[in-house]
A and B are shown apart, each in its own frame.
Chain A
Amino acid sequence: MSAVIETKKLTKYYGKARGIIDVDLTVNEGEIFGFIGPNGAGKSTTIRALLNLIYKTSGEARIFGLDCEKDKVKILEDVGYLPGEVFYYDNMRAIDLLRYSASFYKKDCTRKIEELADILQLDLNKKIEDMSLGNKKKVGIIQGLLHSPRLIILDEPTSGLDPLMQKTFFDLIRRENARGATVLFSSHILSEVQRICDRVAIIRDGRIVKTQKISELKQDAYKRVSFTVKPDGGKPAGISVEGAQNVEVQGDTVSFIFKGDVNALLRALCGYPLANIDIAEPALEEIFMHYYAN
Chain B
Amino acid sequence: MNIYLFELKSQLKSFLIWTASLIAVYLVFMTGMFDVLMESKDAFEKAVAGFPPAFSAAFGLHLDKLFTFGGFYAFVFTYIALVGAIMAVSLSVAVFSREKRSKCGDFLLTKPVGRGTVYLSKLLAVLTLLAAANVLFILVSAISCSGSAAAGTELGRVVWAAAALFFTQLVFMGVGIAYAVFAGKVRAVSGVATAFGFGGFILSALRRLLEKEAVRFIAPLDYFSTAAVFETGGYEAKYAVTAAAVTVICLMLSYIRFTGSDAPAL
Residues of A within 8 A of B (CB): 14, 44, 48, 51-55, 72-77, 79, 81, 83, 85, 87-90, 100-101, 103-105, 143
- Give the interface residue-count category, chain B: 20 to 34
Known A55-B262, A87-B103, A88-B102: A100·B6 in contact at CB below 8 Å: yes
**What would be 13 A-B contacts, judged by CB atoms less than 8 Å apart?**
A14-B262, A53-B262, A55-B260, A73-B112, A73-B117, A76-B112, A76-B113, A83-B266, A85-B266, A87-B102, A87-B104, A90-B102, A101-B111
Query: Whole-angstrom distance between the alpha carbons of A73 and B261 in the complex?
Result: 17
> With the chains together, A100 CA to B6 CA distance in Å?
8
Are A79's CB and B266's CB within 8 A?
A: no
Contact pattern, B 107-137, Cβ under 8 Å of A = 1, otherwise 0: 1011111100100000000000000000000
Binding site for A on B (CB under 8 A): 2, 6, 98, 101-107, 109-114, 117, 260-263, 265-266
* A103 to B7 Cα, complex, angstroms: 14
The minimal Cβ–Cβ distance linking B106 to chain A, given in whole angstroms, is 5
**Beta-carbon contact of B106 and A54 below 8 Å:** no
Residue of B98, B103, B109, B261 contacting most chain A CB atoms (<10 Å) = B109
Which of A53, A76, A81 is the most central at the interface, judged by chain B CB atoms within 10 Å of its CB? A53
B102 touches A105 (CB 8 A): no
Further 10 A-B residue pairs, CB within 8 A, beyond A54-B262, A89-B98, A104-B112: A48-B262, A53-B105, A53-B263, A72-B114, A73-B113, A73-B114, A76-B112, A87-B266, A90-B101, A101-B107
A89 touches B104 (CB 8 A): yes
Q: Which residues of B contact A76 (CB under 8 A)?
A: 110-113
Distance A74 CA – B266 CA, assembled complex (angstroms): 25
Question: Chain B residue with minimal CB distance to A19?
Answer: B262
Which chain B residue lies CB-closest to A90?
B102
Quick one: which of A74, A75, A88, A105 contacts B104, CB cutoff 8 A? A88
Assembly CA distance A104 to B113 (angstroms): 8
Tell me if A81 and B104 are in contact (CB < 8 A).
no
Most A C-beta atoms less than 10 A away, residue of B112, B114, B266:
B112
A100–B261 Cα distance when bound, in Å, is 25
Tell me which of B110, B113, B263, B265 contacts A81 (CB under 8 A): B110
Knowing A81-B106, A89-B104, A101-B107, say if A54 contacts B114 (CB, 8 Å).
no
CA distance A143 to B106 in the complex (A): 12
Question: Which residues of A are found within 8 Å of B265, using beta-carbon distances?
Answer: 44, 48
Check B109 against A53 for contact (C-beta < 8 Å). yes
